[in-house]
Structure 1
Amino acid sequence: MKNILKHIKFIPAVLLLLVSCESLDLAPEDRFTDSNYWTSVNKAQTFLNTAYSQMQNSSRFFYNEALSDNAYNGRGDNEGAASIAAGIYDPSLGRIKGEWNDRYSGIKTCNLIIENIGRVPDADPAVIARMTAEARFIRAFQHFQLTTWFGDIPLVKKDPSLEEASTISRTPHAEVVEFILDELDAAIPALPKNTQLVPAERGRITVGAAVALKARVLLYESRWAEVAQVTEQFMANTYGQYALFGSYEGLFATQNEYSSEDILSLQYVPIDRMWGEFFDMAPISAGARLNGLAPTQELVDSYIMTNGKRINEAGSGYDENNPYANRDPRLTGTVVYDQYNWKEADGSSKTIYIKPGSDPNTAAPDEYAQGSSKTATGYYTRKYYDLQHTTSLNSGLNLMLFRYADILLMHAEAKNELNQMNSTVWDQTIKALRTRAGFTDGAALSYNASLGQTGLREVIRNERRTEFGMEGLRIFDIRRWKIAEDVLNGYAHGAQFGVSSVDNGYLRVNLRTFDPDKHYLWPIPRDERLINSNLTQNPNW
């Protein structure tokens, strides 16, 4: 797939056509769907590559964290993160409009493939079936993202005419979900397992990817019995060969792309297709120009102690004066904190000084300073930092959309919600993840039935947060658990670098607002409703 993606740069005209219009009819059909275009499998594959490239982008992958309590977008309004987190957005926000148009443009690409690929002459039917299945997966993925943000949405099963696009109405969320699940079930028989991919095909959609998306859709709908069934079969290698990668830190390194844990990733290629968000996320001394996305104290506090206790739990051993000692090793793999041991590709390392006045270097490039271009929270990000980066920290490192750890945590959550959690399920899921992370204390690894369903629910939810910190999933968990009004109202905090009389010295970095009567659904974009009066608006917008 990386070889295939090198050719994405040759199709910008198609992309321009796809995103140039406001309505759902986002491309003039006579430009690239006539009989002169669908003449070979290679041309069809180029079109399918476009659909792959429209699934997600690196900016949303990272800045979605700032929509949650995990991170703060302190410079600008990247992907609308600052506006949405503060609760000061409306239907005209660029992110709202962009999410809608980009995803419907991706759906259009898929519909054009599905409706036209059969016109390719002398093609192997199995090849056409597989490409069609990939397009159906991507179309399902795009609808899933839309209905997760907006609720009821136009369900677009075929490429609409201009008249249809300007009069289409919203389909109930439940109906959209069933369409997504049906599409995935229809796609699965034509998709290969990961063990059947040749090296040049790595990164293409597999049975495992389709089943992982199916499990996530079911999870978001709280269909626990179905989640448990699907994930159990996944863990039994029914859909391919997957396993946790041996090192949590190494999982996000270039040399370990396509590991046993990687189910489906956004594909990048050095030089030809790269991303550069770490230019505004890494420590300044590591080559960043400023800090636009910083982990919060709330995220840092979620990492348990090595004995399995929360930092505020009796007997945890947490020391506020030495806060990063004896913590979940995933903290070090994710967040850069004061006195962090920063490793470079050549094997060298250096200390990152963030606390004001601590750096022996008078330039103090990484020290927190209010109002500066450095971190606003007292933290930087390590996870996904590419040691093989090019100029301006540009990276060709793949970004994982689905990984096996999620299958394990979905299984654990579903079994607990069914009140079926036991030591066997715990050992298969939470213990396995903590062991991989580096925990050795039996108290952290052993199943504790005395916690009960409610206590285990909190453990599992926190495990999701720390396992996937800075990977863009937290906001979706917050929304489906309906806890946003609890965790997204009030101040997001930074490190203990402030005055002791205010929040015990923990920096107040951003005042968040979340209205549960309004903000669980994004508003339908204003421009779309001006074009199409049949598009109703979500409550209280």
Structure 2
Amino acid sequence: MFISMKKLLLPILCAVVLFSCRKLDQPITRDYTDAAYWRTADDALAALASCYENLSDDSYYFGDEALSDNGFVNGIGYKAVSTIAAGAYDPSNQRLTEEWKYRFTCIRKCNIVTTNIDRVPAMDSTLKHRILAEARFIRAYAYFQLVSWFGDVPFYTNLITIDESKSISRTDKNQVLDFVQSELTAIRPDLPVNNYTGANGGYQEKDKGRITRGAAIALSARVHMFKSEWQGAINDCELLINSSNNGTYALQNNYSNIFTTANEYNSEVIFDIQYGGGRTHGSQRNFLPQTVALLRSTLVPTQDLVDDYIMLNGKGIKEAGSGYNENDPYTNRDPRFNATILHDGSTITDFDGKVQTILTKPGSNPATNSVDDQGASPTGYYFYKYYDRTATNYSSGLNLIVIRYADVLLMYAEAKNELSQLDAGVWNQTIRALRARAGFNDAGALEFPGVAQDALRTIVRRERRAELAFEGVRAQDIRRWKIADQVMSKPVRGIKVSGGSFRKDANGYIIVEDRTFINPKHYLWPVPTFERDQNTNLGQNQDW
């Protein structure tokens, strides 16, 4: 924490905030003294834009997938998440050290806004309250991220001094989460809905990408889910499902089109991380086949994720009557599978407009993308979702979606089931709607199965995994469900092979890496070593 609090003055501000007609641009930064600042509304907007810079970045967004059983990072990329996933990390790990610093930097930036905005003379009241609401949302989001990884954390909403940062203790995680929840409720009236009309304090077209009322409600629902507060989650979801008063949201007709630059800001997006202009991300260089992105493929899907996609008839691949053929494993699968993952025989149009067939089996010719090649995916699979062919020099300006309407439907279905209220009506609103949009048409997949709560829980969780794969939510899901110690204590598996020098399981699937997840130790990350060196009052989490 000490790292992120060294400067007491505004750390990053800009002379003028430049908003494009499409994106919420990041500020052009230069240093200002505190005395010379806070003179105009533009000063406040610039300080707020600096808060947006610390919402998240692509290394966290995509790297989180490899903190779950969905993905694997080959090597030390994505801030050494592979050592966390393997259970071989300590309090000096890069990812957890930088996560702490990154979030507390964000919190300080937000506290600068909330503490100083009253200094702007004669500021329009509606704009002022909107800026405050956005800053409070971003701060609440940062605290939620910290608590979800670390549990108890230092908590403050003022501008503490360096000396205070060296002595502050951690606050109980439940108290911090209560604050997050209260903030997300309190700010709703000051946030416009997503119609972008510019009327009555609403956002204009140039302000797309800013926090809306729907984002505050959806994040509140996610916090309720994290706390297993099912009725609270239901209440929040119903504000978005059964009413347009808080924003107009709907599923897109085409699943793949959600994740394209041509369809950004569509009706399904509720909260996303802004890219474009001068801010881009190059993560696709690391997850696409190396014949497409011309780099080693280091962030890749697992066989366990592939196996969880159901068949077109709604059955899991291991269920009787599923029709699954191990010798033809990719036929008649959930359409979202091919929209998310490239496998042996998949085709992709590369950046030059050439259609490539991706070959991943050992002995393929050419072998560039097969498990034989040192730079290829060691599992035999590649992520396809978020592939941006419009990227210049592979650097994408595609926004990264944190919460979309499909997630709201899935939270609603899960919470209803936990209260034994998932009936045909709720099913049709949620799971059926998602599957129909994906392209299912078999009654076995679409009709309410009418099974017991435990069986429905399995269906809903599997649906959540398929719908939201590669969107950074699985790692937190397996932790809040308390199944991480089960699914993360299994080997990372790749495709089934015969012969060769590969290490394989009893069924012939490649074993890429062994993983360990110790309960309860690994359910919380340790407080970083550097922070405890600066502040002996921070203490440490259990077993660390």
Question: TM-score, normalised on structure 1?
Answer: 0.93
1:334 paired with 2:340, answer yes
Give deviations 1:337-378, integer Å, cap 9, x for gaps. Answer: 00002135787633211112233xx4x3212216x0111110
In structure 2, which of residues 251, 266, 278 is the aligned counterpart of residue 244 of structure 1? 251
CA change 1:138–1:44 in 2 (3 A) is same
What is the distance in 2 between the residues matched to 1:116 and 1:507? 57
Please state how far the C-alpha of 1:2 moved relative to its aligned partner. Answer: 5.1
Q: Is the 8 A contact 1:309 1:444 kept in 2?
A: yes
Q: Is the 8 A contact 2:24 2:274 kept in 1?
A: no
Please state how far the C-alpha of 1:76 moved relative to its aligned partner. Answer: 2.2
The residue matched to 2:385 in structure 1 has which SS? coil
1:515 paired with 2:518, answer yes
In structure 2, which of residues 264, 272, 282 is the aligned counterpart of residue 276 of structure 1? 282
Alignment of 1:402-413 (within 5 A): 402-413=403-414
What is the distance in 1 between the residues matched to 2:25 and 2:430? 39
One-letter amino acid of the structure 2 residue matched with residue 508 of structure 1: I
| Structure-2 residue corresponding to 1:487 | 487
The residue matched to 2:496 in structure 1 has which SS? coil
Please state how far the C-alpha of 1:201 moved relative to its aligned partner. Answer: 1.0
The residue matched to 1:350 in structure 2 has which SS? strand
| Structure-2 residue corresponding to 1:133 | 133
What is the distance in 1 between the residues matched to 2:46 and 2:359? 47
| Structure-1 residue corresponding to 2:415 | 414
The residue matched to 2:378 in structure 1 has which SS? coil
What is the distance in 1 between the residues matched to 2:285 and 2:364? 24
Q: Is the 8 A contact 2:27 2:49 kept in 1?
A: no
Alignment of 1:41-60 (within 5 A): 41-60=41-60
Answer 1 or 2: which has greater helix percent.
Answer: 1
Please state how far the C-alpha of 1:122 moved relative to its aligned partner. Answer: 2.5
What is the distance in 2 between the residues matched to 1:471 and 1:79? 18
Q: Which has the larger displacement, 277-286 or 98-107?
A: 277-286
| Structure-2 residue corresponding to 1:379 | 381
| Structure-1 residue corresponding to 2:460 | 460
| Structure-2 residue corresponding to 1:17 | none
In structure 2, which of residues 493, 498, 508 is the aligned counterpart of residue 505 of structure 1? 508
| Structure-2 residue corresponding to 1:444 | 445
Q: Is the 8 A contact 2:24 2:210 kept in 1?
A: no
1:261 paired with 2:268, answer yes
What is the distance in 2 between the residues matched to 1:447 and 1:430? 9
Alignment of 1:295-306 (within 5 A): 295-306=301-312
Q: Is the 8 A contact 2:290 2:375 kept in 1?
A: no
Q: Which has the larger displacement, 346-355 or 300-309?
A: 346-355
1:200 paired with 2:173, answer no
CA change 1:106–1:3 in 2 (3 A) is farther
CA change 1:220–1:2 in 2 (3 A) is farther
Give deviations 1:224-253, integer Å, cap 9, x for gaps. Answer: 011111111210123110001111111111
What is the distance in 1 between the residues matched to 2:440 and 2:353? 24
1:538 paired with 2:541, answer yes
Alignment of 1:135-154 (within 5 A): 135-154=135-154
What is the distance in 2 between the residues matched to 1:329 and 1:176? 40
The residue matched to 1:509 in structure 2 has which SS? strand
One-letter amino acid of the structure 2 residue matched with residue 529 of structure 1: R
What is the distance in 2 between the residues matched to 1:46 and 1:339? 49
CA change 1:345–1:256 in 2 (3 A) is farther
What is the distance in 2 between the residues matched to 1:5 and 1:161? 35
What is the distance in 2 between the residues matched to 1:200 and 1:459? 41
The residue matched to 1:72 in structure 2 has which SS? strand
Question: TM-score, normalised on structure 2?
Answer: 0.92
The residue matched to 1:475 in structure 2 has which SS? helix
Please state how far the C-alpha of 1:296 moved relative to its aligned partner. Answer: 0.3
Give deviations 1:91-132, integer Å, cap 9, x for gaps. Answer: 111111100011000000000000101111222111011001
CA change 1:512–1:2 in 2 (3 A) is farther
Q: Compute the RMSD of aligned alpha carbons.
A: 1.7
Q: Is the 8 A contact 1:2 1:269 kept in 2?
A: no
In structure 1, which of residues 224, 235, 240 is the aligned counterpart of residue 230 of structure 2? 224
CA change 1:373–1:358 in 2 (3 A) is closer
Please state how far the C-alpha of 1:163 moved relative to its aligned partner. Answer: 2.2
One-letter amino acid of the structure 1 residue matched with residue 264 of structure 2: E
One-letter amino acid of the structure 2 residue matched with residue 367 of structure 1: S
Q: Is the 8 A contact 1:4 1:49 kept in 2?
A: no
Please state how far the C-alpha of 1:10 moved relative to its aligned partner. Answer: 1.6
Question: Across the two proteins, how many residue pairs are aligned to each other?
Answer: 516
Please state how far the C-alpha of 1:80 moved relative to its aligned partner. Answer: 2.3
What is the distance in 2 between the residues matched to 1:345 and 1:306? 31
Q: Is the 8 A contact 1:193 1:207 kept in 2?
A: yes
The share of aligned pairs that are identical, in percent, is 44
Please state how far the C-alpha of 1:35 moved relative to its aligned partner. Answer: 3.0
What is the distance in 2 between the residues matched to 1:498 and 1:84? 31
Alignment of 1:345-356 (within 5 A): 349-356=355-362
Alignment of 1:8-157 (within 5 A): 8=26, 10-11=28-29, 13=30, 32=33, 34-157=34-157
Give deviations 1:12-43, integer Å, cap 9, x for gaps. Answer: x56xxxxxxxxxxxxxxxx64x2311111112
What is the distance in 2 between the residues matched to 1:189 and 1:117? 19
Unpaired runs of at least 5, structure 1: 15-30
CA change 1:45–1:3 in 2 (3 A) is farther
One-letter amino acid of the structure 1 residue matched with residue 484 of structure 2: A
Please state how far the C-alpha of 1:5 moved relative to its aligned partner. Answer: 6.2
| Structure-2 residue corresponding to 1:320 | 326
Please state how far the C-alpha of 1:140 moved relative to its aligned partner. Answer: 0.3
